[in-house]
Amino acid sequence: MIVITTPTGQIGGQVLRLLLETPTRSDDLRVIVRDPAKLPDSVRPHVDIVTGSHADPDTLDRAFTGADAVFWLAPPDLHAPSLDAVYTEFTRPAAKAFTAHEITHVVGVSALGRGTPFAAEAGQVTASLAMDDLIAATGVSYRALTNPSFMDNLLWQATSIRDNGVFTGTLPPDFKAPTVAIRDIAAAAAHLLLDRSWTGTSELPLLGPEDLSPNDMAQILSDSLGRPVRYHHESLTDFHTTLTARGVTAPIAAAYLDMMRAKENGLDNTIPRTPATSTPTTFRTWCDQFLAPAIHN
């Protein structure tokens, strides 16, 4: 039995879809979901549904009974009182349940940065790494999928790209860094959940196929969409103002600033690109298949 958290989210939903589409899969699938109505009609008959939050011990007891493997993702919470509440405190009941129910394998979504000079003050990255340590301490076999920024984050700026030909970020315009497509994260997770021959604890960096600067991305966006797109470099001060105006709590907004500052200092550029750390989806392919439809529709 494989348990999938966040099955209606961007990553969890794609992990679930890939597992359902695997003809050789022998494991039953169980999902933890707050609102089962949000699951696609085509999915519900093929999964065991546990209703509730995966931060709730009783929900976890029901979900983990008879299970062997878990896909774990701590969902973002822009209104949380602290980063600990989002990551380690949210995950602590699951860590206890992994042991109590003798879960053997856990695959989690985390961030690049361990072992770097920036890891201790990198906001969400620092909290993600602490969550990894909490899970690893349970003794389960654990793989942390460590990621740079997601290509899919640009979907939040689809309106600005469509109406104004502009996307915004805090990295310098010519600063090259890796980005990864969510579908490649989901594919890596599904593979690990199905082939559980691995043991121990380690990280699997997922770096996409190439490093690109914001200006590189603007050129690719322009080519893909058939219209000019430019990059607007936003200061960290303006970024913080934008976050607080949207109701993000002060601790979470401050953590985002710390994370973006660490990325500017090279946080995501410390892992060598190898065949094992590269993922297949190029930014151009992602634009053509995901962003362009979102903009043209």
Task: List C-alpha distances in Å: 230 to 156, 207, 219, 262, 296.
Answer: 16, 24, 8, 24, 18
Cα gap 52→141, rounded to integer Å: 25
List the CATH code of the domain at 2-150+180-207+268-280: 3.40.50.720
Angle at 129 between CA 18 and CA 54, to 5 degrees: 55
DSSP 3-state of 95:
helix
pTM reported for the whole predicted model:
0.96
Question: And the tokens for 47?
Answer: 């999964």
Cα gap 53→33, rounded to integer Å: 7
Cα gap 153→170, rounded to integer Å: 13
Tally of CB atoms within 10 A around 246:
9
Give, for all 297 residues of the chain, the pLDDT tens digit.
999 999 999 999 999 999 999 999 999 999 999 999 999 999 999 999 999 999 999 999 999 999 999 999 999 999 999 999 999 999 999 999 999 999 999 999 999 999 999 899 999 999 999 999 999 999 999 999 999 999 999 999 999 999 999 999 999 999 999 999 999 999 999 999 999 999 999 999 999 999 999 999 999 999 999 999 999 999 999 999 999 999 999 999 999 999 999 999 999 999 999 999 999 999 999 999 999 999 987
Angle at 61 between CA 80 and CA 109, to 5 degrees: 50
